[in-house]
Chains A and B, each alone.
Chain A
Amino acid sequence: MTAAIDVTIEAPAREALPFNDALPGAVLEVTKNGLVVAPARLLELATYLKTRQGYDYLSMVTSVDWPDYFEVVYYLFGVAKPKDGLVLKVRLTDKANPELPSVISVWPGADFQEREVYDMMGIRFKGHPNLRRILLWEGFEGYPLRKDFREPYYEEETKPLKSRHPDGKHLWAEDRVPWHDNVQYPEAWDPDMWTQPQVQYRRIMGADEPMVGSGIQTQRVLVNMGPQHPSTHGVFRMVVALEGETVVGLEPEMGYLHRCHEKIGERNTYLMNIPFTDRLDYISSMSNNLGYVLAVEKLMGLQIPERADYIRVIMAEFTRIVSHLIAIGFLFNDLGAYFTPALYGLRERELVLDLFEAASGSRMMCNYMRFGGVAADLPAGWVERARELVNNRMPRVIEEFEQLLSGNEIFLMRTKGIGLLSARQAIATSMAGPMLRASGVPYDLRRIQPYSIYDRFDFDVVTRPEGDVWARFMVRMEEMRQSLRILKQALDGLPEGPIMPPGKKQYQVRVPAGEAYSRIEGPKGELGFFVVSDGKPNPYRYHVRAPTFINLTSLEQMSVGSKIADLIVVFGAVDIVLGEVDR
């Protein structure tokens, strides 16, 4: 396991602080976990870092509510200079009125992430063009990830709840009704007088722009696609501004499936979070497990037994195949090839899920990884079954998919040149995974920042230069083949030995104070887990960098100018899972 970020620079004088020779006074302090930046100089520093230092990829923006200040955390990477990660931290001591400049002009990928920070922590970003709630509904009171926020059904600050044992007092959730006495209303707020504020989609409706062009006067039409729409892969709404049949503006509305994953994660103990990560991207729970345990292991400094590392890689790569099969199958659903490819994909997925079930006990909600290893060893006969799948069945199935889909002229006509995203745009909007690689950027964390034991395997980073929907399809097809290559090597190299570090299995792990960000190449892109520990049994802050959530940032860019029928295809090729988008 390699440490992703290590910013430990000793600096005696302020001028000697990094980047202060170019921008004096921008960096205030160097801490173990990143550079503390003056809020007023943030934008300057960001521009400098992007243009001069090559930090063009903003991986994650999040925030931490410390007792004395809010801290906004930026994780920066560079596509060209991959090894260097840089962490910027902005401390906002005015807790009543936290405000800092938005970096959206430098990294457009900050768009949704800053909105999420605003939504959850109430930090305002000056200069953000569309700063409103993103996961919660308009008119929601309070900022849930602040430490003083108490949700309905609030019972105790942290789990395990003291009431459950030894006296077994239990209050039914129904008895603790949300509008009873455990919710504090804001002052001067009356639930009966309240009306939900209406969102005016002025930006995409172009209400402020004068009508241009001659000829027929047309009016923009606002169409809501979703939330109940078969093409939205769940409950997701695209507010589309149309001129005729052409998309001129789009705004995604999400959060219908928001379930306070991060707040629950901060109430939970570290161990309890593992089954909760299963429910993020519920198609690839093994990958989610892996990302989370890597983050906590980074804090704990655990050594993982060799066999456990191999098992993890095997599970993660099987997950990738499953996820891509579904992505491709449902892309064709969106195109109108109703359920034939999707069913073929689901059938193969069944066989992989059988393997997951045999090893972990559950097909989808695997809950298989543990800090230090995996929950249980592979059962007898598992490796043989996996081998048969990897060596005989899967290659045949992928060839069949290729024959069924890749040459189909209707498919080619519908996808080539649709949803274009250039490499520059893709990097700027923090695209990740197949979306980024389909724009010709060879950015694969398994190669660039090998986590677990990925540095031992021989595989190719798949890219396509086209940057359209067809390229995204082709990247996923080829990535399945590469995953099979990794699987073959991992199954052959799988050593005997323990699956957990020696010692008794701990349910109350000791995580030293500190913070860690682990990012893995999930099937849908860069899946990151940001964990802050204060040494207590529960994480102080727990944040998920959901790849599909951030991949939606460029949805408007990709679809503006295309016909509304193509919008569905563009959206389908992003391959989102709402469990992860909304968290």
Chain B
Amino acid sequence: MFGTGIIKGLVVTIKEFVETYVDDVKKIPSRYRGGREVIDQTQNLSEQSGLFTIQYPEERRKLPERFRYIPMLIYQAETGEDLCTACGICAKVCPPQCIWIVRDKDEKGKPVTRPAEFWIDASICMNCGLCAEFCPFDAIKMNHDFEITAYERMPHLVYGLNELRVPHTYYAKLRPTDYAAEEAARAEEAARKAAARAPGARTAAIAAAARPAAPPATPPQAPATDGAAGDASATAPSAAAAGPRKLSPEEMERVKAEATARRAAKAAEVGATAGAETPTAAQTPSAPAGPRKLSPEEVERLRAEAAAKRAAKAAQESAPPAAAEAGASAAAQTPAAEQVAPPAGPRKLSPEEVARLRAEAAAKRAAKAAADAEAPKPDGEK
């Protein structure tokens, strides 16, 4: 009979319609109250019915461990030392070539195995994860944080060390399986090295190398490598001893004054041109003041940052290495710069800074965990 096919089909749609509502009603308290619930739709695949929707951002998906987004750089939580050795493999494998690294130099200008600058242009990163896959030091990994929207590409989506660095504990929590596997591999490697280095243990080392399946759980001198950080830990003592971080008051004053002067000059210049060209638009934050559509405030801030950086560099050249700290702190005192993005000064962290970064990361994680667990009210911003 004509129409039976249509009726048969409509039975399916009615079934789906009802099931969708039944499914929705089951989720009512969390879904419409605004509490953040993490939905895991990987369980009971056959029993799920109806059109399941995740009401983002009230609800979220449980991300699988391997989920990848923008890369992050791992540092040792205890020492604050980067695992990155600035070898540049990530920059070489990156398909869109969005990573660029400046290798650090010591006082004599000899390259050292740590990055002075490390940039990732998140706006052209294609999230492929090749950098993390081929990093020999497990220093760059893919983060789970996918909410990176910003109004301006130029300062906000170009990540420097300050945005990229996370402690290894964060990584261990994010990807426990991967971390455990890497940890085991590092322990094995450390044990092998230790055995090779031990006097008169050459034969043992050769035997161990010949038998890669040897139990990795018995590293004779594993504790000596301090958390089994592999090669990176070897550089830790030298980096820590890279010089006194205190600066004479005169020098501090000089650097600060330099930075302030430059900042003021640039600000005046920008203010004058912007004001002359677009007197009204200059007031609004999204005024098209330049090719990259930065607001005057932002331009000023960026320039200030750059000036501070340059000042720091200059200072570093004249009085290495301690003056770098002054540059960093001078930049840190730029009020606007501190608000939006921490200054990307040369990469030499004082213990205070390490502590601050660590605290920041911890706070971020705590906030996220709290939000994930059960937040009574939706927190507006991330």
With contact pairs A159-B97, A166-B86, A408-B5 given, residues A361 and B45 touching in the complex (Cβ less than 8 Å): no
The answer to whether B142 and A385 have CB atoms under 8 Å apart is no
B residues within 8 A CB of A272? 93-95, 130
- Let me know if B70 is at the binding interface, CB within 8 A: no
Contact, CB under 8 Å: A271 / B93: yes
Q: Which chain B residue has the least Cβ–Cβ distance from A173?
A: B124
Q: Are B12 and A379 in contact (CB under 8 A)?
A: no
Contact residue range for chain B?
35 or more
A347 touches B51 (CB 8 A): yes
For residue A142, CB closer than 8 A to chain B, the reply is no
Q: Which of B9, B102, B291 contacts A408 (CB 8 A)?
A: B9
Shortest Cβ distance from B117 into A: residue:
A168
Q: Known contacts being A358-B64, A362-B68, A412-B5, is A160 close to B127, with CB within 8 Å? A: no
A370's nearest neighbour on chain B, judged by CB, is B133
Minimum distance in angstroms from A126 CB to a CB of chain B: 39
Is A212 part of the binding interface, using a Cβ–Cβ cutoff of 8 Å?
no
Q: How far is the CB of B66 from chain A (nearest CB, A)?
A: 4
Tell me whether A458 is interfacial, beta carbon within 8 Å. Answer: no
Chain B interface (Cβ < 8 Å from any Cβ of A) = 2-6, 8-9, 11-13, 16, 41-42, 45-46, 51-52, 64-68, 86, 88-89, 91-95, 97, 99-103, 111, 117, 119, 126-130, 133-134, 142, 177, 291-292
Closest chain A residue, CB of each to CB of B134: A507
Q: Which B residues are CB-close (under 8 A) to A400?
A: 12
Contact with B along A380-416 (1 / 0, CB 8 A): 1000010011001100100010011111111110000
Is A365 a contact of B91 with CB atoms below 8 Å?
no
Asked if B103 contacts A166 (CB within 8 A), the reply is yes
A270-323: which residues lie under 8 A (CB-CB) from chain B? Answer: 271-276
CB-contacts of A321-376 with B (<8 A): 340, 343-344, 347, 350-351, 354, 357-362, 365, 367, 375-376
Structural contact, A403 and B88, CB atoms closer than 8 A: no
CB pair A507 B89 closer than 8 Å = yes
Taking a contact as CB atoms under 8 Å apart, the answer to whether B91 and A164 are in contact is yes
Q: Which residues of A contact B86 (CB under 8 A)?
A: 165-166
Given contacts A351-B41, A362-B127, A412-B5, contact A169 B66 (CB under 8 A): no
**B48 vs chain A, min Cβ distance (A):** 8
Chain A, residue nearest B45 (CB): A388
Chain B residues whose CB sits within 8 angstroms of the CB of A170 once the complex forms: 100, 119
Which residues of A are in contact with B by a Cβ distance under 8 Å? 159-161, 163-170, 174, 268-269, 271-276, 340, 343-344, 347, 350-351, 354, 357-362, 365, 367, 375-376, 379-380, 385, 388-389, 392-393, 396, 400, 403-412, 505, 507-508
Q: When the two chains form the complex, which single residue of A165, A350, A357, A405 contacts B101, counting CB atoms closer than 8 Å?
A: A165
Complex CA–CA separation, A361 to B68 (angstroms): 5
Which listed residue (A344, A351, A376, A407) contacts B66, Cβ 8 A? A376
Residue of B nearest to A406 (CB): B5
27 cross-chain CB contacts under 8 A: A159-B97, A160-B92, A160-B97, A164-B88, A164-B97, A165-B100, A166-B86, A166-B88, A168-B117, A170-B119, A268-B95, A275-B128, A343-B51, A354-B64, A361-B64, A361-B68, A362-B68, A376-B66, A379-B64, A403-B12, A407-B4, A408-B5, A409-B3, A409-B5, A505-B133, A505-B134, A507-B93
Which among A164, A361, A406 is the interface contact of B99 at CB below 8 angstroms? A164
Tell me the bound Cα distance from A404 to B100 in angstroms.
54
Task: Determine the chain B residues whose CB is within 8 A of the CB of A351 once the complex forms.
Answer: 41, 45
Instruction: Contact check, A409 vs B6: say whether CB atoms are below 8 A apart.
Output: yes
A4 to B22, CA, bound (A): 53
Least CB distance from B8 to A in Å reads: 6
- Docked Cα-Cα span, A379 to B42, in Å, equals 13
B13 and A404 contact, CB distance less than 8 A: yes
The residue from B3, B66, B103, B111 contacting A360, defined by CB atoms under 8 A apart = B66
- Expressed in whole angstroms, the Cα–Cα distance for A163 and B12 within the complex equals 59
Tell me which residues across on chain A come within 8 A of B66, comparing CB atoms: 357-361, 376, 379
Residue in A closest to B64 when the chains form the complex, CB atoms = A358
Min distance, Cβ B73 to any Cβ of chain A, angstroms: 14
Other 13 A-B pairs with CB < 8 A, given A380-B177, A408-B6, A507-B93: A164-B91, A165-B103, A170-B119, A275-B95, A354-B64, A357-B67, A358-B65, A358-B66, A379-B65, A385-B42, A385-B45, A407-B9, A507-B134
